[in-house]
Amino acid sequence: MMPTLFTVPGCSRCAVVKKFLRERSIACEECDALGEGKTAFAEFYRAHRGAIVRGREGVEFPVLSEGESIRQGPAAVIAHLHAGRRLEAFFRAAESPRGWVSGIEISGGEPEAAEDLFAVLSFLKREGLKLELAVDGRNASLLEELLRRDLADRVVMKLHGPPEVHRKALGGKAGIEEIESTMVRVSRFPEHRFETPIACPPPGETAQGPRFLTPEQVAAAARWLKEATGSHRLPYVLVPIPPSCPLPETAPSSLAQPPPGSLVRHRSAARSFQVLTEIAPSGGD
């Protein structure tokens, strides 16, 4: 079955994907989602609503449909066209600021697919898009090569807490040495930050469970970051999330973030080791 690419007029990200199709001579049925293909896309969206990200400004295009596979955004679409499912774990659909590509999960994929990943990121960079990479401590050597090749404009590391909490969050898939090596590499990128997601209990309720980090645990995470990198001035952000949501980027927009003020004690504790610690604005950054 020939893949269908839904695009909209004037979309620079769509233009990048179309150029990739031309350069690789890949056959694809193009459909203007706001023009002659408006009805077709409306039907497609209704049938696959759960698989398509809709941000503050609506659906982010392009959207690729091939059989049961649906990919959204230039990175995920090009990765699928280039290598099929081989790169699937490196990309997720994510709302990206204008001129940027987010949702590139370096820790999620297999190192054996590195050259295919580099090819996709190189194409995106060549077309003028800025790349934001997400890491969590796995694939440290892959991150080193991305640094060497200058294939990232911003790197964000998710730090779930002190060593024992973070390793548990990763399912034990990375050792302390690799996680700390990742921290060091992240700090070497021109633009970077470290984020700790923290669920806050509703007013009047007691914090329970691994998502509810105490100020002491956040301080331990900040100390770990300082000891691993040798720096106490790293951009460190505490991200308040709803208690029912395990990770901030997967939170439905309908769920209200806990008030930033509820993390003031956490911030104060972290600043003993990372003086630039801040609380993310309510509703995301």
pLDDT in tens, 7-66: 999 999 999 999 999 999 999 999 999 999 999 999 999 999 999 988 887 898 999 999
Say if residue 121's pLDDT is above 70: yes
Confidence of residue 242 (pLDDT cuts 50, 70, 90): low
- Residue 53: what pLDDT? 87
Say if residue 221's pLDDT is above 60: yes
Higher pLDDT, 24 or 247: 24
| pLDDT tens track for 125-171 | 999 999 999 999 999 999 999 999 999 999 999 999 999 999 999 99
User: In Å, what is the CA distance from 50 to each residue of 47, 128, 147, 181?
Assistant: 8, 30, 35, 36
Judge residue 33's burial from the number of C-beta atoms within 10 Å of its C-beta, 0-12 exposed, 13-18 middle, 19 or more buried. Answer: buried
- Residue 283: what pLDDT? 46
Please state, rounded to an integer, the average pLDDT across all residues of the chain.
89
| Dihedral angle of Cα 90, 166, 143, 117, to the nearest 10 degrees | -10
Say if residue 257's pLDDT is above 80: no
- Residue 285: what pLDDT? 37
Question: How crowded is residue 213: how many other Cβ atoms within 10 Å of its Cβ?
Answer: 24
Confidence of residue 282 (pLDDT cuts 50, 70, 90): low
Verdict on whether the full-model pTM lies above 0.75:
yes
Say if residue 183's pLDDT is above 80: yes
Higher pLDDT, 30 or 200: 30
